[in-house]
Amino acid sequence: MDITQLKQFADARFQDQQRVIHLWQILAENFYPERSDFTLSHGLGDELADGLANSQPILIRRELGNSFSAMLRDGKWFDITTEEDPSHLAKKWLEFGSDRLLKLMEHRSANFRRATKEGDHDYATFGQNVLSIEPNKMRNGLLFRTWHLRDCAWWDNDEGAVAGVVRRWKPKVHELLTYFGKDKLHENVVKDHHKKMFQDVEIIHFDVPSTMFHFDDKELEKFEFVSLFLDVKNNHIIDKVGKRFRTYVVPRFQTIAGSPYAYSPATVVGLPDARTLQAMTHTLLEAGERHARPPIIATENVIRGDANLYPDGITYVSEDYDERLGAAMRPLAQDAKGFPLGVDMAAGIVEILQSAFYVNKIDLPDKGAEMTAYEFSERMKQYRRQNLPLFAPLEHEYNGQICEQSFNIAMEFNMFGSPADIPQELAGKEVIFKFQSPLTESEEEQKVQLFAQVSDMVAKAAEFDQGVALNVDFGEALRDSIQGIGAPAKWLDEVETVKRKQDAMEEQQAAMAQQQMAAEQAGAAA
């Protein structure tokens, strides 16, 4: 595929994207004015929300966007595991891998918090975001960045997943020099670069499956993906490399069959009410101003000039007018009984918006002083049922893609240490991410509760029959319960080691019993 065909391909993808750009602009203007530059261009210092009279839609969107991180990425929010139950040694490495990956992601230079913060609000407002996950320049850490939806276009493959992404980019000359170096850039960019460091350069980045295009370089066909940077003005390919992993992840909120672009159920439902609330607020403000500064009725041919209604204003009345005939000026009588009704209607619209954005459901239930543990448990179950439709897909579609991509990069560049340290049984195994949040009651937590219940049942039954304890393998149950409370795997010995210790203990007890028996027999003989 030549450069002309690459440009045509990119133009076609962005032509498809134009169908949703107008909608994104409207949603941004009503809910996310900081991002309202899809079809407009904002300058630094512009008042972004000058067309709004009520900030409630913005505040409610902000609360939903902030809740994603607070609910789903707090503390140690994921664990790496496998389909099959791994051995004790494998569990120790997977636990190490989980901690190591979390540190790589949370490192300040990784930009994870900033990127996901920006991405969360795009996700809440527009129903999708675009994040790039790459190794940093030193290849010893990760780098996360969120890109403007306006500059990105993507398409689906036959399985309904995002197949590839095309991104428009306008970096400064000094950014290109730092990112690629002089040798890869076109001579027109490098020439006199010290005089045009802050000049924009139009770049298109292709992150596509290697099977989509025919490249002259046969080495690229060995890789699953190809990353290609194109200098549009100079018709120059800056960089073209094969990759085993994608550059971008595109989490999507609510997808519609036949469209690669998703929607946010919150803003789709809330947009009519947000518009209604703005109109109602304008009306209420006008009514309140009219009540505070009512219209004035002036007697004809009595007022000399205009009535000056501003503070400390003076209005002159003809000296020939007789006040006994009535006031020369008087306020127009108004009925303000409808104002409280308008306020109540606006409050009702705000409640609908809170419901549309799930913010009336995402707060954790309070544990009252008189509430039993069982009642609180049932309240938490109800809380999970209400919020899982919102957060469960987000965990797998959003957090899942981030973790999988980050893990693949970390493995590719040996960020977990030497590959020789990885247990052999994990070779070729597919890793699975288990997410921890207030919304998930894991199987491990259930094991802890079951162990407590079984122990109580056996203790009560043992009052009648001491042998009932033999029905339960308490060693296995205890190990599962200790893992269930989140204790590190290194706190537990391997099963074989425990078995050897138990055998040694039994041998020691048997020897002591024999010694005691021999002593008793010797005493009896004496």
List, as one string, the DSSP characters of 18-32: HHHHHHHHHHHHHH-
Q: What is the pLDDT of residues 240-249, one digit of tens each?
A: 999 998 999 9
- H or E segment and range at residue 504: helix 495-525
**Amino acid found at 470:** L
Q: What is the pLDDT of residues 366-405, one digit of tens each?
A: 766 677 766 766 777 777 777 777 887 888 899 999 999 9
Q: What is the pLDDT of residues 476-513, one digit of tens each?
A: 777 777 666 666 767 777 777 777 777 788 788 888 88
DSSP-assigned letter for residue 75? S
Rounded to two decimals, the pTM is: 0.81
**Amino acid found at 187:** E
Distance CA 198, CA 188 (A): 15
Beta bridge partners of 82: 431
pLDDT higher than threshold 80 for residue 474:
no
Task: Output the pLDDT for position 84.
Answer: 84
Main-chain dihedrals φ then ψ at residue 201, nearest 5 degrees:
-130, 130
- H or E segment and range at residue 349: helix 338-356
**Range 27-51 average pLDDT:** 91
**CB crowding 453-481: b at 16 or more within 10 Å, else e:** eebeeeeeeeeeeeeeeeeeeeeeeebeb
Task: Kindly state the percentage of the chain with pLDDT values over 90.
Answer: 49
Residue ranges of the domains in the chain? 1-43+130-250
Q: What is the pLDDT of residues 154-202, one digit of tens each?
A: 999 999 999 999 999 999 999 999 999 999 999 999 998 889 999 999 9
Range scoring the smallest mean pLDDT among 202-211, 268-277, 492-501 = 492-501
Q: Long-range contacts of range 210-219, CB-CB < 8 Å, 24 or more positions apart?
A: 210/242, 212/163, 212/164, 213/1, 214/1, 215/1, 215/240
Task: Output the pLDDT for position 30.
Answer: 96
